[in-house]
Every structure is written in structure tokens, then in C-alpha cells.
Amino acid sequence: MSDSHTPSRRRVMAGNWKMYKTQAETRAFFEAFLPLIADADHCDIVIAPPFTSIAAAVEKTKDTKIGIAGQNSHWQKEGAFTGEVSTGMLVESGCRYVIVGHSERRQYNGETDDIVAQKSRSALAAGLIPIVCLGENFTERETGRTEEVLSQQFIGGPGALTHEEFSRILLAYEPVWAIGTGRTATPEIAAAAHQFLRRCVQDQFSAEIAAGLRILYGGSVKPDNIQGLMAQRELDGTLVGGASLEPKSFATIVNCK
């Protein structure tokens, strides 16, 4: 299998705002951000605001190529699920993507690999592109269990999709120990994990699907480490938390070539 960065693997630079930014802050962000990325034709750009700011984000980006994402969605079309939002609701609000299985949801909301698979299926059925997250925690890495954990999360989650479904998702490798800690994975550590995940994809699906899959890296991505990360051909983009909140810093990340 070739691991070369083929033109079909168009880069994706995504920002996950988590529980940050009101509607007013969202509008102000895009007013500052849009001029800074006006020439960024080399990548897809995605922003995941909180639910309440999605409408403002969609409105501000309507004449741009920026895609808006939900940070979560339920797998059922509708029902008595207080506090939840369906994939159809996200589509109606103008979203094109949804983040699935973020480690913060796995940790605080008990999201399992099976739920990740169900949510991914539901997102695809609604026409959304799921950004499916997985990654090991600190203890798992320290005890040499990274590949075991990644393989388990892969097989029970996105690996449970059909070939056709899987060919439409994005994967995000987010080692938990690197999220919000300032401890970015070195470019080599990130690339090795991506390579391993690509091998899992090849084993489960096919070499062709593995070669076409875009895998994003997330975990303390900053303007000062983006060059090193993007120099790795295995990395097809990034999923950025903290550094996506500030227009200049996210623009620097997006504009890295």
C-alpha cells in the first residue's frame, strides 16, 4: 500500500470550538477570519461551533467554501432524548459535517465504540460527513497499548460501517494526552499512529479505501508546530481546539502549505 499523499487526499483543516463562542463572538470571528484565508484554496476548511452558534456561523460563511459542523448528534431521527440534536436538524441548520466520538464525549458522556458506529451511520444517512475521532489516553500510551486501543476503537466504531459508508467518512486521530495539554504528539508519533490506522483500514476494507481515507491529527495543534506536522505525508489535516478560537492563529494553521 502506498502512503503517499495523493492529490485525491485533499487536506482538511477543522476547528472544534467546544463550549466556546456566543453568536456575537461567532460573527466577530468570521469577520476577522474570512479575509485572512481568502486565498486558501489548497484545503477544505471546517468549523464546529456550539449548537446555538451554528446559525450565525452558517450565515457568515454562506458565500464561502467553509463547511460548518455539529460537535455531536444523536443516532435516532427524533424522540424523547432531552438535550440531544438529530443529524437531520444539523442538516436543516446548514451543517455539512458532524464530529463523532470525540474523547471528551467518550469520557464525560459515556460514548462507546458502538454508539460511535451508530452515530456515524445516522450522520451518513442524513448526508453529513462524520469526522470520527479516536485516540489513546496517557496510561494506554505509557503502557504500550496504543495500537491495541486504536485497533479496538477502530473495529468497534468506524470499522463496523459498510465499505460504502466508510468511504465517505473522515477519521481524526486525537491522542487524549495531547488534547488541551500543550503536549503535541511529535510529527513522527502522529504519523506512526496514522500509518497504523491506515493499515487497520486496509485489513478491514481495502487498500484503495485506505489510500483514499483522510486522517486528521488533533491535540495541541498550534501555529508554531503546524509546519512540522503537515510535513508528514501521513497527516491529511488537523482538528484544532484552542488554537481555532482566535482568527489569526487558526488562519496561520489553515494557510500552512
Neighbours of 246 (CB within 10 A): 14
Output the nine-digit C-alpha cell for 115: 454508539
Site stretch for ligand 13P (CB under 6 A), options 57-65, 140-148, 193-201, 213-221: 213-221
- According to the binding rule CB under 6 A, does residue 221 interact with ligand 13P? yes
Q: How far is the CB of 105 from ligand 13P (least distance, A)?
A: 10
User: What is the rounded distance in angstroms from the CA atom of residue 79 to the CA atom of residue 194?
Assistant: 37
Residue that the C-alpha cell 460573527 belongs to: 27
Nearer to ligand 13P, 140 or 174 (CB): 174
- According to the binding rule CB under 6 A, does residue 242 interact with ligand 13P? yes
Q: How far is the CB of 141 from ligand 13P (least distance, A)?
A: 16
Rounded (5°) CA angle 194-224-195: 5
Contacts (CB under 6 A) with ligand 13P, residues 180-199? 180
Reference 256, options 246, 242, 238, 247; nearest CA is 238
Among 44, 174, 234, 236, binds ligand 13P (CB under 6 A): 174
The alpha carbon torsion through 87, 92, 95, 98 (nearest 10 deg) reads 0
Nearer to ligand 13P, 89 or 243 (CB): 243
Beta strands in 74-230 (DSSP E): 97-100, 129-134, 170-173, 215-217
Q: How far is the CB of 238 from ligand 13P (least distance, A)?
A: 8
Reference 157, options 113, 195, 199, 120; nearest CA is 113
* Cross-strand bridge partners of residue 14: 46, 239
Active site residues: 102, 174
Q: Which residue is nearest to ligand 13P (CB)?
A: 241
Q: How far is the CB of 191 from ligand 13P (least distance, A)?
A: 18
Contacts (CB under 6 A) with ligand 13P, residues 88-107? 102
Among 123, 132, 239, 254, binds ligand 13P (CB under 6 A): 239
Residues forming contacts to ligand 13P in the complex (CB under 6 A) are 16, 102, 174, 179-180, 218-221, 239-243
